[in-house]
Structure 1
Amino acid sequence: MNLLIMGLPGAGKGTQGAKIVEKFGLIHISTGDMFRAAIANQTEMGLLAKSYIDKGELVPDEVTNGIVKERLSQKDIAERGFLLDGYPRTIEQAQALDAALSALEIQLDGVINIDVNPESLVERLSGRIIHKETGETFHKIFNPPAAGYDENDYYQREDDKPETVKRRLDVNISQGAPILEHYRKENLVTDIEGNQDIQDVFADIEKALSNLK
C-alpha cells in the first residue's frame, strides 16, 4: 500500500502517520529523512543537494524531486509500500511525483487528509508558553502551569504568537488546496475529521485504509 498523508501544521499528521506506519508496516518517508540519507550515502542527487545547502541556498525542486524518486526506487519500498509525509508541498511537486511513480511503475493507493478547522489550530498552536526562569514549556489550554500563575513569568516565541501561526496556516492552506484538488480528481483523497480524540482519528483512518486493501 502506497500512501500520502496531508494536513495543516498541528492537525496531528505526525502522530497519525506514526500509527499508520506501525499498524500497516509501511516505510515512513519524510523529506528531511530523505535529504539526510541521500547526502550521507553520497548519491548523485544527495551531492547536488549538499552543494546548494553548503552555500546556504534553497534546494531547487528538480533536486528535491530527484531525491524522492531515488528513494522510491529502492527495494524496501517495493517490498513494503510507503507513507510519504511532507511531500509534495506544491502542485508542481505533485506533478513531478506523478511522473516519478509512473516511471517506476508504482501506484499511489490513497491520500489521507487530516482535516482540522484552522481556527482551532490557531488556538492549539499559539497556546505554548515558556517559563522565563526554568525554560519549561506549557500550554495555556492543554497543559497550563499551576492555577493562578503570573503571566509575566512566561513568554511566547515569535513562532508561537497567534498572528505568526495564522500566517503559517494561510500559506499551508494556499499551497495545499491545489494539491488536494489534484488528487481529488483521481478519487484518491479520504478526509479524516481531525477534531476528535487521537484514537478516534486513527479508527477512522484504519476504516478508510481497510477499504483500499
Structure 2
Amino acid sequence: MDATVKPLRIPPEMAIYAEKHEVFDLLQSLVRNLVVDKPEDPIQYLIGMLKKGSVEVPRVILLGPPAAGKRTVTRAVCERTQAIRVTVNHILKEDPDFSGQAQQCQDRGEKIPSDLWIRMVRSRLSRIDCVRRGWVLEGIPRTREEALSLQEAGIAPDHVVILDAPDDVLIERSLGKRIDPETGDVYHVAFMRPESVEVLKRLEPPKELVTEELVAKQLHQYRREAHGLLRTYGPHLCCINTDQPHLDVCAQVLSYVLMRHRSSAPHTPRILLFGPPGSGKSLQAGLLAHKYNIMDICSGKLIKAVYADESSMGELLKPYLESGEEVPDSIVLQILVARLSRLDCTTRGWVVHGFPRDVEQAEKLQESNHTPSRVFFLDMTDDVAAERLSLRAVDPVTGERYHSLYRPAPSAEVKARLVFDPRDSESRVRARLREYWEQVSMLQAFYPDAIHINADQDPHTVFQSIESRLVGRLPKTLTDAKESQSE
C-alpha cells in the first residue's frame, strides 16, 4: 500500500497479538535454524520444527574444571527446566551408530577423532527428547577446536555457564569427594554432606585413585584450554564462582538460564504506572515519554482536555465536572480507548497513569484489547507520600513548584507568596491514600507479573530501575518452560 495515497492504519490488536505470541521472535528463530541447517526442503523443515515445538527450549553448555560442581548444577537445572542432561558418558553409551568406532579408539588409548565426536554429539542432540525439551551439555566441548566444530555443525547454545573456583578449593573438593553408589549423586565430606543418615552411611570414595598431584595436573590441563573456550563463547557467557553453597550456585545458574537475550523483534511499549499519591507517577511517565518518544497519557488531564475542546464528548462531561461528581467508568474508558487507538499510540507506544483505579476498570481496559506490556507499582509508605504532598506549594508568579524540605523557596519574598493546594492538606492526602490501599491488593492480583519499584529514592534512580526492566525481555518462568515442553 502506498502510504502517500492512503495512510496505513495499524490496529492495536495486531501488535498486541504479535507480542503476546512472540510472532517476530518465532520467525527470527525459524530463519536462523533454516540458514544454519540448510535443509533440502525448507518448507517441510519449518513445518517439522513447528510440530516438534522446538523453537524455544533450553540449549545450555555448562563447563568448568574438575570438582567445580558441574554434575550437581546440571542435574538441578535439568530437574527444574525438564531439559535433557547430556554428558560424554551418555553419548558414548547411548549411540549405537558410533559407539563401536569410539570404543575402539578408547581401547587403543587414542583420542576420538574430532569429526567423529562432533557427529556423535550432533546425533544425540537431534533425538526427539532433546529437540522437544532442550538440552544441557555437561563438560562439552572440552577444547576451543571442539567448540568451533560444534558451531560449524549448527550446535549453538543460548546460554553458556562456566563454573570456577580457586585451585586450592577444587583440590580439597576432589580429595573429599564421595559418591552414592545407588544414585550416582556426588557429595563431599565437609562441603556437601547428605541430609539422610542412610545415604551418608553408604557413601563411597571414587573408584579411580585421586591424588593431589593428579588433580593439579587435570586443573592445569583445563586452564590451558579454558581461555580458548572463553573467547569462543564470549557473547553468551556467564562465569559463576562456585566457592559458595551449592544451593546459591544452582540458583544463580538457573536465573541465568531462564534469562532471555535481548530480542531484535519490534516492540511497542505499553506501560501502566500504579502508585499511591505522591509516588511520582507523573514525573516517571514524563521521563519515559521524553526518552523513548512514547505518549504520556494521564487520565485526569485527558478528561480535562476533552472537556475543554467543546466536542460532543466534552458536552457529555460538562455536568460531571461542573458539579464535582465522579465521571462514570464507561465514559472514562471510552475517552481513553479512543486516545489509545490513535496512530501515535499504536505506532510509538504509551504510558498510562491514573487509570485503572480498581479491578473493574482494569477488566474493562483489558476487554478493550489495550493490554499493557509492562506494569509497574511504585511503592511508598503513607508517611513519605503525605510528606511529599502536604509540604509542596506553587509560586503563582513564576509557576515554579517548591517543597518545604526538598526544594525550599530561594528567598523570603518568594516564600511569602507561595500558594498551597487545599487538596494537598494532610487529611485529604490520607483519605486518598486509604482509597488507594483499598484497591491495590486486588490490582496486584490482577497483574501478577507486575514489577515493584521502591519509589522512596531519588527520581532518577527510580527511573533507572523502571528503564532496566523496560528495555530487556521478561525472564522465562519455570511455569512457562514446563508448559511449552508439555504441549
TM-score range, shorter chain: 0.7 to 0.9
- The Cα of 1:130 is off from its aligned counterpart by 8.9
Does residue 291 of structure 2 align to residue 23 of structure 1? Answer: yes
Amino acid paired to 1:177 = S
- The Cα of 1:49 is off from its aligned counterpart by 2.9
- The Cα of 1:163 is off from its aligned counterpart by 3.0
Question: 2:106 maps to what in 1?
Answer: none
Question: 1:206 maps to what in 2?
Answer: 467
Distance 1:15 1:129, change over 3 A: closer
Question: 1:151 maps to what in 2?
Answer: none
Question: 2:442 maps to what in 1?
Answer: 178
- The Cα of 1:143 is off from its aligned counterpart by 3.8
Question: 2:376 maps to what in 1?
Answer: 112
Cα deviations by residue, 1:54-98 (Å, 9 ceiling, x for unpaired):
666432111111111211221111111111111111211111100
Distance in structure 2 (CA, Å) of the matches to 1:36 and 1:128:
23
Amino acid paired to 1:117 = T
Mapping 1:20-169, distance limit 5 Å:
20-39=288-307, 40=309, 42=311, 45-50=313-318, 52-53=320-321, 57-101=325-369, 106-128=370-392, 139-144=403-408, 158-169=422-433
Distance 1:96 1:141, change over 3 A: same
Distance 1:161 1:18, change over 3 A: same
Given that 2:389 and 2:429 are in contact with CA atoms closer than 8 Å, whether structure 1 keeps it comes out as: yes
Does residue 192 of structure 2 align to residue 192 of structure 1? Answer: no
Unaligned runs of 5+ in 1: 147-153
Amino acid paired to 2:311 = Q
Distance in structure 2 (CA, Å) of the matches to 1:130 and 1:207:
33
Distance in structure 1 (CA, Å) of the matches to 2:323 and 2:380:
37
Distance 1:212 1:49, change over 3 A: farther
Distance 1:212 1:5, change over 3 A: farther
Cα deviations by residue, 1:20-66 (Å, 9 ceiling, x for unpaired):
111111111122343244442735x4443345446664321111111
Report the structure number with the largest CA radius of gyration. 2
Distance in structure 2 (CA, Å) of the matches to 1:138 and 1:38:
29
Q: What is the TM-score of this pair, normalised by structure 1?
A: 0.77
Percent identity of equivalent pairs: 30
Distance in structure 1 (CA, Å) of the matches to 2:389 and 2:468:
28
Distance in structure 2 (CA, Å) of the matches to 1:59 and 1:161:
23
Distance in structure 1 (CA, Å) of the matches to 2:310 and 2:272:
25
Cα deviations by residue, 1:87-129 (Å, 9 ceiling, x for unpaired):
111211111100012xxxx442011211112222122223347
Distance in structure 2 (CA, Å) of the matches to 1:155 and 1:59:
28
- The Cα of 1:156 is off from its aligned counterpart by 6.7
Given that 1:8 and 1:169 are in contact with CA atoms closer than 8 Å, whether structure 2 keeps it comes out as: yes
Given that 1:112 and 1:190 are in contact with CA atoms closer than 8 Å, whether structure 2 keeps it comes out as: yes
Distance in structure 1 (CA, Å) of the matches to 2:350 and 2:401:
34
Q: Higher strand fraction: Structure 1 or Structure 2?
A: 1
Unaligned runs of 5+ in 2: 1-268, 411-417, 475-487
Distance in structure 2 (CA, Å) of the matches to 1:157 and 1:47:
27
Given that 1:46 and 1:67 are in contact with CA atoms closer than 8 Å, whether structure 2 keeps it comes out as: no
Task: State the SS of the aligned residue for 1:62.
Answer: helix
Amino acid paired to 2:294 = L
Distance 1:57 1:169, change over 3 A: closer
Distance in structure 2 (CA, Å) of the matches to 1:143 and 1:29:
27
Distance 1:125 1:79, change over 3 A: same
Distance 1:52 1:13, change over 3 A: closer
Distance in structure 2 (CA, Å) of the matches to 1:9 and 1:21:
20
Amino acid paired to 1:192 = I
> Larger relative contact order (C-alpha < 8 A, sep ≥ 6)?
1
Picking from 272, 289, 297, the partner of 1:4 is: 272
Given that 1:109 and 1:212 are in contact with CA atoms closer than 8 Å, whether structure 2 keeps it comes out as: no
Distance 1:66 1:200, change over 3 A: same
Given that 2:296 and 2:350 are in contact with CA atoms closer than 8 Å, whether structure 1 keeps it comes out as: yes
Distance in structure 2 (CA, Å) of the matches to 1:28 and 1:130:
23
